[in-house]
Each structure stands twice: as C-alpha cells, then as structure tokens.
Amino acid sequence: MLSTPVASRRGAEDSVSTGMIPYNAPMQQDTRAGTGNGRALKIIVTGGAGFIGSALIRHLIATTGHEILNLDKLTYAGNLDSLVMVAGDPRYRFIRGDIGDEGLLRRLFAEFDPDGIIHLAAESHVDRSIDGPRAFIETNILGTFTLLQAARAHLETLAEARRARFRFHHVSTDEVYGSLGPQGSFTETTAYDPRSPYSASKAASDHLVSAWAHTYGLPIVITNCSNNYGPYQFPEKLIPLCLIKALAGEQLPVYGKGENIRDWLHVEDHARALALVFESGRRGETYNIGGNAERRNIDVVTGLCDVLDRIRPRDDGASYREQISFVADRPGHDLRYAIDSAKIRRELGWTPRESFETGLAATVAWYLDHPEWWRAILARDAATARRGLKEPA
C-alpha cells in the first residue's frame, strides 16, 4: 500500500522476462494498453497537478476504469484544486515528489506496479526559461532521464504479457520544431530546430525517449501538441492572463505587434487525444496533436475582449479592446507554429470537438464562474508579472 504524504490543497505523494520489445513493434489486439478490450490499467501520470496533466486525469477517471497515481512536485504551477473532483475516487491517488528522485521512483514502481507511464512533468513557460534555464535542464532533461531509467528497470520485472502492453508515453510540444514561415505545417518528420531554453530542453527529452526505445527496447510513444487553452490554466499564459487583467481594468500586454501565430488546442480535446494515443497508438511512433485553429496573438486577445464585451461588459460601456497595449517582444520570439495532425486523425480517428470560437467562449465563462480558483493563485504567486525580458547572453 502506498503511503501518501499528508497534503494541503497544494501538496498532499509475475515471472521475470528480459527479452526486449522491438522498437517499432506493431500493436496487436491483445497488447492494446487500454479499455477497448475491457482491460483497466495502473498508470503513473507525472505532472498530473499541472494544467494538461490535471485535465488528463479528470478525463481518465471519468471515462475509463484505469487506476491513476499522480506524481507531482507541486512547483508554482501545480495545483491540487484542479483535481478536487477526483480526489476522493478510490482509483486515484497523489504523491508529492520529484521525477529526479531515484529512490522515490524505485519505491513507487515497486509498490504501485504500473502498466504504463504518461509523462507530463515539465517546466513549460518560455519566459521563465529565459530568466532561469537551469530548472528546465534539471527537470525536463535530467528528470526525464531518471524516469526513463526507472521505467526500464521496471519493464524488466514484468511477465511477457504485461511487457507487451506496457508503454512510456512522453508528452511534448510543437516548439521543438522551431519557427515556420507563412506557409506549411509541422509534421512528425519535421527536423527539430528549438529556439528557446524551454524548447531546447523538451527537444533533448524527446531525443532521450527515442534513444531509450531504439537502444533498450523501451516501448514508447511521443506526442507533440500545439498551444493549449481551457479551464484551470495557470494565469501566466496568454488567455487567462489577459482575461484576469481585463477584469481588473489593467492593460492587456501583447508582445511586439501581436503578429505571432499559434495553433490553438482546447485542453480537453488534448486530454482525449493523449488517452487515445496511450491506449491505441503504435509503439515507437510520434503523433502531432493540433487544434487546426491558427490565430495571431492579437486576434486571440481581441476575440477574448469581444467575448467579455458580450457576457461581462465594462461598467463604462467601453470595449475591453481599449485596454490592449503592445509591449516589448520576447527575445527570440518564434513567428509561427502550425500542426499537421493528419496522422492521429487517420490512424486513431481523433478530431478536436471544440472550434476556437466555442472553446474560447467556454473558457472565458469558466474563469468568470470560478474566480476563487484563480484568485487563490494570485494571492500566493505573482502569476501575471512580466518575465522573459533578459537579453540573450
């Protein structure tokens, strides 16, 4: 029985086979690691108190029979308030801990005995990586290495049938591909060209996962997603940042001229895709996940203002657009990202359910309906402060 540390809202924590699984082994009917064949699994989700991780856990508990162990260090962006609706479920447990802690990982793998890992734990904000890159190297690269070693050791203890359905699902970003011009989209074969300390650290972790598959036979899948948005997002990111500042009557900061383009993906669509890839994706494969919703940053912010104008108009009757302010650009700011998600659509039948317009309206409504969630964050963290202004060395 796992002993979970006492927690506050922010922190509570067969026969052996040694044959390697071929790196690109096709998925067979009885080796699918999911509920499609009635099998419930034990899954370690790292970083499960973060924005995407908590959405994934809520989805898995609500729609599958899987048992989830959430391993999260609870850094500034980790928030157990995002998981209160599953906290009492007997199939969910939380351990506060670091993926770089070898001793903790050995104990968790031995006691929980997982059938798979979905690895989301990461430092993820570009501006913070510009100010302080060390944490990104330690967590995203060294932490992933430590987790890979623990997973490899655990795999060697499993009987053949469990080895066949075990997988290490590494969740990554489209930022590893670099910046696009006005045309084209990132595919799974696009060469890596990271431009920030954050994206470089994620690119390194992607390469480690791929190397552990090729060299040691670790059964892996990798997903690279576009910009996520939706409920429970930490308010340093563009949409919640501007929403909260708009409500406070503050200026809405738009970097440069607002011409940078991102492909926007609702977090609940992403959670569905992650579960589908974990359960049914082909081992050794990479899947790009995008919302097919390219928008300039200025269009995202004006769209947000328009939603607020409709459902929470300003007292003076003016538009929230009047609060938009163009500020100094981020150093090395990538111009455009766009995801080609044809592979996951073709192979696994996934498509996003939310358009950007419906998703943005639902997101704004959620933040308006849940001020206690984001106000608690603002009370303990300067989440809306400007970061990432240091010039490259």
Cα gap 297→268, rounded to integer Å: 21
pTM passes above 0.75: yes
Residue 389 near residue 328 (C-beta atoms within 8 A):
yes
Position 247 in a domain: no
Residues paired with residue 221 on neighbouring β-strands, in sequence order: 169
Helix residue spans in the chain (DSSP H): 51-63, 102-112, 126-131, 134-136, 144-155, 160-165, 197-216, 238-247, 267-280, 297-311, 342-348, 356-369, 371-380
Q: What is the CATH number of the domain that holds 186?
A: 3.40.50.720
3-state secondary structure of 321: helix
Position 47 in a domain: yes
The two tokens of residue 259 are 């011409």
Position 307 in a domain: no
Position 235 in a domain: no
The residue assigned the tokens 């992403």 is 270
Position 202 in a domain: yes
Cα gap 45→112, rounded to integer Å: 12
What Å distances lie between residue 246 and 172, 252, 346, 359, 364, CA to CA? Answer: 31, 7, 40, 19, 11
Q: Which of 59, 142, 333, 339 has its CA nearest to residue 224?
A: 339
Position 187 in a domain: yes
Report pLDDT for 382. 60
**Which residue segment(s) compose the domain that 161 sits in?**
29-230+264-293+335-354
Report pLDDT for 38. 55
Position 51 in a domain: yes
- Residues 212-223 pLDDT 10s: 999 999 999 999
The residue assigned the tokens 């959670």 is 271
* Residues belonging to the active site: 174-175, 198
- Residues 266-281 pLDDT 10s: 999 999 999 999 999 9
Residue 71 near residue 99 (C-beta atoms within 8 A):
yes
Half-sphere exposure of 362 (CA within 13 A, CB side): 14
The two tokens of residue 49 are 């108190």
Report pLDDT for 238. 95
How many domains in the chain?
1
Per-residue pLDDT tens, the chain, 393 aa: give them.
454 433 333 333 322 222 333 333 333 333 333 333 458 999 999 999 999 999 999 999 999 999 999 999 999 889 999 999 999 999 999 999 999 999 999 999 999 999 999 999 998 777 778 888 999 999 999 999 999 999 999 999 999 999 999 999 999 999 999 999 999 999 999 999 999 999 999 999 999 999 999 999 999 999 999 999 999 999 989 999 999 999 999 999 999 999 999 999 999 999 999 999 999 999 999 999 999 999 999 999 999 999 999 999 999 999 999 999 999 887 878 789 999 999 999 999 999 999 999 999 999 999 999 999 999 999 886 655 544 556 444
Position 2 in a domain: no
Report pLDDT for 7. 39
The two tokens of residue 383 are 């989440």
